[in-house]
Structure 1
């Protein structure tokens, strides 16, 4: 196996392992040694792939959002469904992924957002870029829904997209606190109202 491929694969294994662990425990509660042990990577290898825990956290978030956006694009891809139907399919997928494991979910923006925003500027910016890319896609779906007549909104698509994303993030946090999908169901109903569905 070429060294470049082995390096890329090992780096990816470390990032994927960290995402799984940190989705459960948070960023500060997880040490690099725990991630490396779980990934089956020698302890001395970490700095071969990352210059610091901060750089590692930034890389992990960028990797997470790249995967998230790929999945989101697949859900929102044209399929014969209206823009409103595709957007609601995205919210339904969100509800399902945030309701798993007693509403502990697996969204790193929900799990790490407040925790790392004050710890690391580079991680805060990775979160900002990733969440902005999500809002961009929601805005495009709203604009598409206005064009195809499948939804309507009171206000500008960008403002509505931001409001919806913020509501879903908040509902995800509340679902974790209450260990109940009820906040997600409430925000799903509010989303239908926002979109006049």
Structure 2
């Protein structure tokens, strides 16, 4: 029974993520979500006490899945650290410009929308961002240790700066429907993380 409950909850979150990637959080009405997920309203409220609680669960699920995917790039012990960081951002570029909207970053899609809407949702996104920046900074430090990155003055500041640049580039690319801002971010990132 617990497996079925987890599957239903996960299914609602998966369908919701797909809808939210296309329409934003506010743009997805509860009835639309329930219809797309083929779930009755009572079942929804069994798992989530409100739409905001559902939104928090959606973001927590996204952050958790995102952390797991970092294992294949930033956490890959088979590659030097500089190569891992560049692979992470190359993957970001590919997903943000790819045809599958669900693969795109919800931080980019929802950060402005939820900032004024829900302190809890904002906190979840901010914690996710802080965690990614911390992981990037750690990988930069590993790069100076493994010799793939030239010595850096402040890896945490650099990680923060690069990550924020990519968030901004993603927003502008979304507005312009052009990958030029992301290509520029990639070029700047390569220069900012110098090989020895």
Structure 1-normalised TM-score? 0.94
1:56 equivalent among 54, 57, 68: 54
1:110 alignment partner, one of 92, 108, 115: 108
Out of 184, 191, 195, the position equivalent to 1:193 is 191
2:157 is matched with which residue: 156, 159, 163? Answer: 159
Over aligned residue pairs, what C-alpha RMSD do you find?
A: 1.7
Deviations 1:106-132 (A, max 9, x none): 211000000001100100001011111
Residue 117 of structure 2 is matched in structure 1 by: 119
Separation (CA, whole Å) in 1 of partners of 2:103 and 2:67:
17
Count, aligned residues = 195
- Unaligned 5+ segments in structure 2 are none
After superposition, the C-alpha distances for 1:25-46 in whole angstroms (9 at most, x for unaligned) are: 1011111111111111112211
Q: What are the superposed Cα offsets for residues 119-160 of structure 1, whole Å, 9 maximum, x if unpaired?
A: 001000010111111111101110101111211365311111
Cα shift readout 1:47-92 (whole Å, capped 9, x = no counterpart): 1000111111011000001011101122223343210001101011
Match of 2:36 in 1: 38
Q: 1:103 to 1:25 in 2, by over 3 A?
A: closer
Q: Residues 133 and 26 (structure 1 numbering): CA distance in 2 closer, same or farther, change over 3 Å? A: same
d(CA) in 2 for partners of 1:37 and 1:151? 50
Cα 1:134–1:43, aligned 2, differ >3 Å: closer, same or farther? same
Worse-superposed segment, 128-137 or 96-105: 96-105
Equivalent position SS for 1:101: coil
Q: Supply the distance in 2 between the matched residues of 1:181 and 1:102 (Cα, whole angstroms).
A: 15
Asked whether the equivalents of residues 18 and 101 of structure 2 are also in contact (C-alpha less than 8 Å), the reply is no
Measure how far apart 1:190 and its partner are: 0.4
Q: 3-state DSSP class of the match of 1:60? A: helix
Structure 1: segments with no counterpart, 5+ residues:
none
CA contact (8 A) 1:87 1:138 kept: yes
Q: Within 5 Å, which residues of 2 pair with 1:1-197?
A: 3-101=1-99, 106-152=104-150, 154-197=152-195
CA distance in 2, matches of 1:40, 1:155: 53
